[in-house]
Amino acid sequence: MQDSQRGYDRRTFLKLAGATAAIAACGGATPAASAAPSAAAATSAAAATKAPVSGTLSVYSALNESTNNEFFKAFNAAYPNVKVNVLPLAAAGELQTRIRTEKASPKSDVFIGGSSEFHDPLGKEGLLEQYNSPNAKDIDAKFKDASGYWVGWYTGIFGFISNNDRLSKELGGKKPATWDDLLDPSWKGKLILPDPVKTGGGYIFIATQIFRFNRDEAKAMDYMKRLHANVAQYIPTSPGALTLIDQGQFVGCPNWAHDILTEKGKNNPVDLNVPADTGFEVGAISIIKGTKSLDAAKALVDWSLTKEAGDLNVKLSNRGSTRADVAPAPGSPKLSDVKLVNYDRQWATDNKDRILKLWQTTVGI
Amino acid sequence: MPDIHLRLERVTKRFGETAAVDDVSFDVPRGSFATLLGPSGCGKTTTLRMIAGFYDPDRGDILLGGRRINDLPAHRRGTAMVFQDYALFPHMTVRDNVAYGLRVAGVPTAERERRVNETLEFVGLGKLGERWPNQLSGGQQQRVAVGRALVLRPEILLLDEPLSNLDAKLRVQLRWELRALQQQLGMTFVYVTHDQDEALSLSDWIAVMNAGKVEQAGTPWDIYYHPRTSFLADFVGAVNLVPGTVSELRDGGAVVSFGERSLTVRVPAGLALASGAAVRLCVRPESLVLAARGAPGDGPALPGSVARKAFLGDLMRYWVTVDGREWLVDQPDPGAGTPFDGDVLVRVRPERVHLIAE
Amino acid sequence: MRSLRREPGVLLALLAVVVLVGAFIVYPQVRVILTPGDSYGEFFSGGTWRNSLLHSLEVMALSTASAVTLGFVYAYAMVYSDMRWKPFFRLIGILPLLSPPFVVAASYVILFGPRGLITYNVFGQTISIFGLGGIWGVQTIAFFPFAYQLIADVLSRSDARIEQAARNLGAGSWRVFRTVTLPLSRPGLGAAILTTAIYVLEDFGNPALIGGTFTVLPTQAYGLISGFGDLPGAAAVSTILLALALVLYFAKIRLDGPRSFVTVTGRASSMPRPPVAPAISWACFAACMLLAGIIALVYGSLVVSALTVAFPQNTALTFGNFEYITSGANGTALQNTLVYGLAAALLSSLLALVAGWLVERGRWTGRRALDLLLIMPAAIPGLFFGIGYALAFNEPWLDWLDRGVLIIISMIFWNIPVGYQAAVAGLRQIDRSLDEAATSLGASSLRGFRDVLVPMLGGSLRVGFVTTFVRAVTTLSVVIFLFTPSSTVATIRIFQLVGDLNWGRATAFTVADIGLAIVALGAVALLARGRIALGGARA
């Protein structure tokens, strides 16, 4: 996938998005309809050419607890002859390791969820099956693995959560419009950040700063150092940080927009805003090499890339979709509406070790 | 020819550099009460434990009823041991303690109960079957230990200083009970003790050990009256050991001079002596008779003076200085006369004097 | 226990233990250690481990010292003093062991965090619970029960006569304690210190939540996997931890020495312990009450959290959380937890007893090596134990092996160190003359072990059982690589719910997990009372 090497180009995306939107506007429900019939066509085509897809799927899912049940129920509605055994573990790193340790005798068929940074190395290590789903044509090349080992089907935007009560009392209700706003001394001791060493989100935050400063690492590290003065704690899990804001133990934290919305939806006294020049992640799905249920696995990949699946995931987890025709969650900005940095995913993955060590030395941890 | 039940042949056991048991051989006749006597560290307990099978001899053989048992595991030797600190199982009642060996041997319940009850009566614990060890006195605990071993009718009963933790009176009383038991059952006992009174009164046969070796083995009478070394003479009972030299030999006898005096004594069989040889006169205190100076009487008499005396109840012990040397003299039944004081005569009966070569 | 060749039973037992240890402790770990291969050099030259190592050592020293001291005080109070309400304190002494990951640590944050209910709302303080201070506090409370259990077991077997004798000779209570009680409890103390230190070293759950940036080796390893997917790096960290544990182990051997700690001889005594001054009993009571108070607060808040919508922001009462956890897959998880836990506890404690006997009473070469191997699992972070098993037993020819069984096996061996140490400490207190008496009465070594020693080791058995059970039902890291949907356990469910920020349900699950564990332990205690005589502890 050459795009990921060139780096994400927002203008290209906007053009594509615009084009899709135009077509959508013209055709009314057509794109959606054409998506559905194409999916249906695919399945009915499959149905027409061979027996309905059946088999047992062992799925390693990094999706949220609240997403799994509904999601796979819906999949089963589309593929009633496939039995799905889900191993839910909302920790993609652990799942990735598990897949590695099971190399000699894989116990899973599909790895779903978790950012593409976890799927990619597995592909390079030869632990995944190549598959280019027919439905992947609806997905921008940006979100796909050029070698075909994984495909991105959801997105997550990096935003900011704040505790309403304490924000208004202690900071005049001022949400950070840019990341630089967090350097304000009024944030001292009230800010927390997901630990960059232990969490994907934390690392993406650092990488975002680097891309924000146009790859000037020295400037980015300088920012992180000054930010460090305000950070009360680095939290070992991204969701864990949210709870602390819910409880009002601290005032604000950069974190995943979809998770923040979910917290807000639970009537917690918190709010979301998305500062300018932010980063995002792509959630992937891949097929494990050596799977004995290849057809069923492919079916799951196909289905995850449909609008139906995309809409469902948005509804369940407030995440975004890599499909242009899937509306974002209420309260969540569209990817296109957000001022994103030029996020070079490949570069970020390749330089992770070095950047984190650099950060640790800079900040003195 | 006595039936030899237990034989040790040239048994040696080393711990590191030292030989705790050094080339020890002896025979124990069937049905006898055999005792290993000696000071601490002499190797008697180690020997016992080798018979039991808790230690392996480095050299030598142990034969039980003519059969070599070196390679038999301890629990299959047919020996049972009574320990110095009783080693009762604290989580079992008296009855269960006694029944244990029978249970292990798979003896059917009815017979087991019968034998246990029998044994409890035998050792005088009939009513205490349901007690726990920590509810018993020392003497009672020891009886349980004995009963527990006896009920198994072992080939040999091994006893490792079983009475040393009891008070004096109890020790004496239990001593007789043990002896009576042994004679009643006709069982072979091998008994270890450092107490020479016990050894003398209980045993049919004693082996006195010192520094890993058997100094002398024989009947109590033998050991007491015919010790072959000074150590033996001194260890078993009180003794006067008077150094002297052989001035003359005459058929079966020797004239020994000590200081200015001399005495003609019998030479023990098997003792080769040359004129001029250094010897010791072994004189038991009770074989001497005190008399006042100038009292009539015959036989050799040594003039001396009483340095001190001690009233021991059944006898009066005198320390009498003769030629600058203290002699121990025991006089029985002190109440029969008045105690001696000052200058006295010590009458020696030459036939009661034993000769030890240096 | 003389020459092995004369007792085939013992030889067999020894071989069995060696094979089991080799297959289930050594082999999986060898797989883990071999994983990094070449990247060891890379990792070590990278130097990120240095800080973590330093932090780990700091934390270990602090937390072990306080946990063992607290454990000793508690054990003394329970065994020696005439303090009131002992059954209550017995429960409190076990509660911290029952801490499924995350939720309990989270409670500490709710109570004592920057806006903690206690620290802020009651005392008006904004302390930072995060970092070394917080870890120290939480670990002390979390680990003192290990020390308490081991020490209490040893103290209960101490010989009252020796203490009475010391008193008779004019020694005051403190002197008796210092010169008699304390030295005689050295086997237990040594085991307690070693075990606690190793468990503190490999503790992941607490530093993960409360450590903040204060990284220790286990959290670094977790981060390497979770954040980077770096298995070789994480395996390298695990090797460091193993090496540390080895050092601790050898230190302990030097300190122990060959002295005799025999206090249970065949010479029974009905002597009661010298009375403890009432002042001391009251002091014990006060200290234990304070501790109990903190623990009650923490666990009490769990219950509150389970019964509310979103504690502490939203305290509306609800039973929805509990309803949820009894449904469907969750019921299976709770059931599995109980079954796996009990099975592992029973097998582990028995195996530990046999292994302890073979090592402590045996005279065969290689004893030291086996001793080391049986303590090693304590040094291996659960994460690595799990990875080792995943690597080692994932071969195609083992596909038939039920994952549930594999989980049970992993629990047995991961937790064998505590039961084993308790068995060894217990055996060192029992005079060999009791063994010999049994032998002399015709019992083979194995038989003697079963009839005479095992009944007297009830305390050690209990320690092994309780510890294994408790760790089995609260571990996440070991099972995270081994579980499957049908063999899922409560901790996995809690992890998933927490990941979803479903604190209400997660706490309900935690409370149910703890509740079931207490009930199970209580039932076992009742059953065991009738069967296993407690020997010297009867006094």
Query: pLDDT by residue (tens digit) across B159-210?
Result: 999 988 888 888 888 888 889 989 998 999 999 999 988 999 999 999 999 9
Segment C490-514 shows an average pLDDT of: 83
Q: How confident is the model at residue A36 (pLDDT cuts 50, 70, 90)?
A: very low
Q: State the alpha helices, DSSP H only, in C39-172.
A: 39-46, 48-79, 86-94, 103-112, 132-156, 160-168
CB spacing of C455 vs B152 below 8 angstroms: no
What's the pLDDT at B59? 92
Let me know whether A267 and A322 are in one domain. Answer: no
> Which residues on C lie below 8 Å from A266 (Cβ)?
310, 501
**Which candidate from A96, A197, A239 shows the least CB-CB separation from C229?**
A96
Residue of chain B whose Cα is closest to the Cα of C265? B87
Checking DSSP bridges between strand B156-160 and strand B188-193, what pairing results, if any? parallel
Q: How confident is the model at residue A39 (pLDDT cuts 50, 70, 90)?
A: very low
The verdict on residue A252 lying in a domain is yes
CATH architecture of the region B238-357: Beta Barrel (2.40)
pLDDT digits (tens, 9 = 90+) for B220-258: 999 999 999 998 998 888 999 999 998 888 877 888 888
pLDDT digits (tens, 9 = 90+) for A266-280: 888 999 999 989 988
> Which residues on A lie below 8 Å from C492 (Cβ)?
89
Is residue C348 a contact partner of residue C467, using CB atoms and an 8 Å limit? no
CATH number at residue A170: 3.40.190.10
- SS3 state at B339: coil
Task: Of C114-123, C293-302, C468-477, give the lowest mean pLDDT range.
Answer: C114-123
Please, what is the average pLDDT of chain A? Answer: 82
What's the pLDDT at C64? 93
Q: How confident is the model at residue C5 (pLDDT cuts 50, 70, 90)?
A: low
pLDDT digits (tens, 9 = 90+) for C11-64: 888 999 999 999 999 999 888 888 777 777 777 777 778 888 899 999 999 999
What's the pLDDT at C267? 58
Please tell me the distance in Å from C538's CA to the nearest CA on chain B: 9
Is residue A156 a contact partner of residue A320, using CB atoms and an 8 Å limit? yes
Let me know whether A305 and A199 are in one domain. Answer: no
What's the pLDDT at A59? 93
Amino acid (one-letter) located at A245: I
CB spacing of C441 vs B85 below 8 angstroms: no
pLDDT cut 90: percent of chain A above it:
39
Examine the pLDDT at C279 and tell me if it is beyond 70.
yes
Number of Cα atoms under 13 Å in the Cβ half of residue B351:
1
CB spacing of B91 vs C442 below 8 angstroms: no
Residue C358, number of CB atoms within 10 A of its CB: 24
Is residue C505 a contact partner of residue C497, using CB atoms and an 8 Å limit? yes
What's the pLDDT at A247? 87
Amino acid (one-letter) located at C526: L
Q: Tell me the residue ranges of DSSP E strands in C268-341.
A: 308-310, 314-317
The verdict on residue A81 lying in a domain is yes
CB spacing of C437 vs B83 below 8 angstroms: yes
Give whichever of A285-289, B133-137, C74-78, C143-147 has the largest mean pLDDT.
A285-289
> What are the distances in angstroms from CA B107 to CA A274, B92, B136, B157, C447?
86, 18, 27, 20, 16
CB spacing of C6 vs B152 below 8 angstroms: no
Let me know whether A189 and A272 are in one domain. Answer: yes
pLDDT digits (tens, 9 = 90+) for C166-202: 777 877 777 777 887 778 777 777 778 887 888 888 8
Examine the pLDDT at C259 and tell me if it is beyond 70.
no
CA distance C468 to C146: 11
Examine the pLDDT at A17 and tell me if it is beyond 60.
no
The verdict on residue A52 lying in a domain is yes
Q: What domains are defined for chain C?
A: 9-534 (1.10.3720.10)
Segment A68-89 shows an average pLDDT of: 90
> What are the distances in angstroms from CA A16 to CA A277, A309, B22?
21, 21, 102
Task: Of A34-38, B163-167, C504-508, give the lowest mean pLDDT range.
Answer: A34-38
Let me know whether A67 and A139 are in one domain. Answer: yes
CB spacing of B148 vs C451 below 8 angstroms: no
Let me know whether A257 and A295 are in one domain. Answer: no
Q: How confident is the model at residue C164 (pLDDT cuts 50, 70, 90)?
A: confident
CA distance C125 to A227: 25
Examine the pLDDT at A25 and tell me if it is beyond 60.
no
Q: What angle do CA B181, B182, B183 make, to 5 degrees?
A: 95
> Which residues on C lie below 8 Å from A233 (Cβ)?
128, 130-131, 212-213
pLDDT digits (tens, 9 = 90+) for C416-446: 988 898 899 889 888 888 999 999 999 988 8
B280 Rama sector, left if φ>0, alpha if ψ -120 to 50, beta otherwise: beta
Question: Has domain B4-233 been given CATH number 3.40.50.300?
Answer: yes
**Which candidate from C6, C436, C535 shows the least CB-CB separation from B71?**
C6
What's the pLDDT at C146? 80
Closest among B201, B182, B141 to B165, alpha carbons compared: B141
The verdict on residue A15 lying in a domain is yes
The verdict on residue A337 lying in a domain is no
Let me know whether A167 and A237 are in one domain. Answer: yes
Segment C278-284 shows an average pLDDT of: 81
Segment B112-126 shows an average pLDDT of: 90
Examine the pLDDT at A284 and tell me if it is beyond 90.
yes
Residue scoring higher pLDDT (A36 or C291)? C291
**For chain A, how many structural domains are there in total?**
2
What's the pLDDT at A329? 87
The verdict on residue A338 lying in a domain is no
List residues of chain B with CB under 8 Å from any CB of chain C.
52-56, 71-76, 79-81, 83, 85-91, 100-101, 104-105, 132-136, 141, 148-149, 152, 158, 165
**Which candidate from A91, A232, A263 shows the least CB-CB separation from C499?**
A91
> What are the distances in angstroms from CA B3 to CA A101, A189, B31, C520?
74, 97, 9, 64
pLDDT digits (tens, 9 = 90+) for A232-278: 888 878 888 898 898 888 999 999 999 999 999 888 899 999 998 99
List residues of chain C with CB under 8 Å from any CB of chain B.
2-3, 6-7, 264-270, 431, 433-434, 436-445, 447-448, 451-452, 455-456, 533-536, 538-539
H/E stretch holding B281: strand B278-283
CA end-to-end span of chain A: 37
Let me know whether A248 and A269 are in one domain. Answer: yes
What's the pLDDT at C258? 56
List, by residue range, all CATH 2.40.50.100 domains of chain B.
238-357
Contact status of A138 with chain C (Cβ, < 8 Å): no
**Which candidate from C114, C209, C314 shows the least CB-CB separation from A240?**
C209
pLDDT digits (tens, 9 = 90+) for B55-71: 999 999 999 988 999 98
Q: Indicate the burial class of A346 (C-beta count within 10 angstroms; 0-12, 13-18, 19 or more).
A: middle
Give whichever of A200-209, C156-165, C395-404 has the largest mean pLDDT.
A200-209
Please, what is the average pLDDT of chain C? Answer: 81
- SS3 state at C157: coil
Residue scoring higher pLDDT (C266 or C14)? C14
CA distance B211 to B192: 15
- SS3 state at C315: strand
CA distance A334 to A330: 10
> Which residue reads 């993609």 in tokens?
A92
What's the pLDDT at C270? 59
**Which candidate from C115, C391, C499 shows the least CB-CB separation from A247?**
C115
Segment A281-291 shows an average pLDDT of: 92
Checking DSSP bridges between strand A150-163 and strand A280-288, what pairing results, if any? antiparallel
CA distance A323 to A44: 22
What's the pLDDT at A41? 43
What's the pLDDT at C266? 58
What's the pLDDT at C382? 81
CB spacing of C267 vs B135 below 8 angstroms: no
Is residue A108 a contact partner of residue A271, using CB atoms and an 8 Å limit? no
Please, what is the average pLDDT of chain B? Answer: 90
List, by residue range, all CATH 3.40.50.300 domains of chain B.
4-233
Examine the pLDDT at C74 and tell me if it is beyond 80.
yes
Segment C346-352 shows an average pLDDT of: 93
CB spacing of C439 vs B80 below 8 angstroms: no
- Chains contacting A (3+ CB pairs below 8 angstroms): C
| Domain housing A311 | 2-155+280-332
What was the ipTM of the complex prediction? 0.81
